[in-house]
Amino acid sequence: MANREELLIIRAARAGQAAAQLTLGKRYLFGSPGLPKSSATALYWLDRAARQHEQDAWILIGSHIPFETVRQATQPDKLCFWYERAFDAGVVQAGLVFAKLVLAQGKEAVDESLCRKALLALKTAAHAGIPDAQWLLAQHIERMQAGAPHRSSDNQDDNGEASTGTKEAALEWTMRAAAGGMVQAQRALADRAWDAADYPMFLHWALPLAREIARYASALNKTALQLRNDDALLLSRSAQALSRTADPDQEEMERYWELAAQAGDRNAQFSLGLWLARMDANGARTVAIPGLAHYKKSLRWLALSAEQGLADAWYAMSKIYLKPEFSQRSVADAQRYLERAAESGHSAAQAELGMSAWRTRREQSSNDTRAVYWLQKAAAQGNREARILLEKIAGHASPAAWAQAAKRRLTRDMVNVFPFLAARIELAALFGLSRTEALLLDLNAADCGHCLLVDIRAQHPRSGRRLILVQTGHERQTLSRIARLFEDVDCGPDGPEGNYRQRLYRLKSLVHD
């Protein structure tokens, strides 16, 4: 509570006395026995004193009132003048706040000369060793580079240093800010090193931050721990980078992965699951990790990661359920998770499913088309084994000479009178069917979506079963159109097209083979 002296000062300040306003602003700025510290209240009274030409008022504003306080004022742009005057008076810290206030308004809202002066103030503060200014200058340079990539950098600035329009200058100021303890700059350098796969440099910048986050987490109740997404990502990456070193601290790695996994980072959950299972992403035992495997704990973290869309986690779970030492070993569960991984886009799982289906094609006739489906997806992702096997078991669409010749002889009237025959000729011309295959193929069962199933053994026992890949949009559209034509049509000898002899006679009559 304000004492008698302070009440007199408040009364005089409210009456408009500049000296009292300055004194009251100091009391709120540094605190007093009767008045609490309040930067916002101090700014209010110092601003009123500065308007009455109290020089100490704007010096105090520039030296002690931070940008966060000014930003919350009703009209922060009007307070920018006091920081400018304080900077002109030699207060370097005021130059930083002045630059922040000006640059926050954008070039369209302020005069160009004021922008140049704000940039000069920012450079001065950066050269004075203020990490916040160095980081802000680095960000400003990057924005300039992004906004004007066509501009070439100047050779030198007034101080003989690199121009502020170069990427090298931005990196230099970022490193200065990071060395000065600017956390945002340290994170930026860590992200840069991670993107470049420079793990030693990443650990140089990220490991101190990760240890600080871990210490903060240890001081909290684990059940109430709520890490930010960027903190969890930093911990996860730090553990991943530590695992690539020659002699990592395994307890520290596991601690980081556990904290990030609890915060919901799916990569950390996946890595922690593999760590607990003592295996790599392909299911092989990792001898570099000592101790026994904890498969039940591993499955818990892998399941959480998989539910967030990580296909590798489904694949790892399938490998765990196949391990003979796992007490809950289950081939059915392993197959189920392998299919989940394949459906999520895991190329190795797709290749395994395709190869397995091809090996068991004699047990179920449709397994060959299922094999082609998964092998085709795996080959599209660059899986070499899937591509080699796919080339062996399925052919490519290639034009049939007889069908092309027959198609050229068909007139519009013929197509209108015999639409089914014309469609079969068109299909043979596109996919390379023989004349017997074209005339006997059951179109209702032939279209498998990803491939064309050619199987006429029911009416022509000496023929074979083969698969033709559907690879282009034209092939897909043509096959869909022809399949719609034969929808709900009996393609057998009792259907509207007749038996094989009738179809062959009609073909020869129309095209004069």
- Quick check: 273 and 260 in contact, CB under 8 A? no
CATH number of the domain encompassing residue 325: 1.25.40.10
How many C-beta neighbours within 10 Å does residue 172 have? 17
127 in the same domain as 211: no
Q: Which helix (H) or strand (E) holds 451?
A: strand 451-454
Q: Pick the last residue of a domain from 394, 428, 452.
A: 394
Residue range(s) defining the domain that contains residue 266:
185-345
- Quick check: 79 and 47 in contact, CB under 8 A? yes
- The number of distinct structural domains making up the chain is 4
125 falls within a domain: yes
Would you state the torsion angle of the CA atoms of residues 181, 187, 192, 198, taken in this order, to the nearest 10 degrees? 80
Closest residue by Cα to residue 435 from 489, 494, 503, 491: 503
How many whole angstroms separate alpha carbon 433 and alpha carbon 307?
45
* Share of residues in the chain with pLDDT > 90 (%): 66
150 falls within a domain: no
pLDDT in tens, 425-463: 999 999 999 999 999 999 999 999 999 999 999 889 888
How far, rounded to the nearest angstrom, does the alpha carbon of residue 495 sit from its chain's CA centroid?
Answer: 55
HEC readout, 170-209: HHHHHHHHHHCCCHHHHHHHHHHHHHCCCHHHHHHHHHHH
452 in the same domain as 354: no
How many whole angstroms separate alpha carbon 487 and alpha carbon 490?
9
Instruction: Using DSSP, state whether 447 is helix, strand or coil.
Output: strand
230 in the same domain as 136: no
pLDDT in tens, 393-412: 999 999 999 999 999 999 99
Beta bridge partners of 454: 466
336 in the same domain as 202: yes
31 falls within a domain: yes
Q: Residue 164 has what pLDDT? A: 47
448 in the same domain as 436: yes
pLDDT in tens, 361-386: 999 889 999 999 999 999 999 999 99
Q: Residue 350 has what pLDDT? A: 97
CATH number of the domain encompassing residue 56: 1.25.40
263 falls within a domain: yes
211 falls within a domain: yes
442 in the same domain as 316: no
169 in the same domain as 51: yes
Q: How far lies 121's CA from each of 66, 90, 160, 451, 484, in Å? A: 16, 10, 17, 68, 73
The type of residue at 505 is Y
pLDDT in tens, 118-152: 899 999 999 999 999 999 999 888 888 776 544 44
383 in the same domain as 313: no
Higher pLDDT pick, 79 / 271: 271
Closest residue by Cα to residue 52 from 80, 23, 15, 16: 16
* Dihedral angle sign, alpha carbons of residues 31, 36, 39, 44: negative
482 falls within a domain: yes
Angle at 240 between CA 235 and CA 244, to 5 degrees: 140
313 in the same domain as 191: yes
Higher pLDDT pick, 343 / 7: 343
Query: In the predicted model, what is the mean pLDDT of the chain?
Result: 89
330 in the same domain as 190: yes
How many C-beta neighbours within 10 Å does residue 365 have? 11
330 falls within a domain: yes
Q: How far lies 224's CA from each of 209, 218, 259, 308, in Å? A: 21, 11, 12, 22
- Quick check: 412 and 510 in contact, CB under 8 A? no
141 in the same domain as 32: yes
Crossing angle, helix 131-147 and helix 112-127, to 10 degrees? Answer: 130
Q: Residue 225 has what pLDDT? A: 60
245 in the same domain as 170: no
How many whole angstroms separate alpha carbon 93 and alpha carbon 130?
8
- Quick check: 179 and 138 in contact, CB under 8 A? no
Res. 161 pLDDT band, cuts 50 70 90 = very low
Classify strands 466-469 and 451-454 as parallel, antiparallel or unpaired: antiparallel
Beta bridge partners of 149: none
Longest dimension (CA), the chain: 121
HEC readout, 453-486: EECCCCCCCCCCCEEEECCCHHHHHHHHHHHHHC
434 falls within a domain: yes
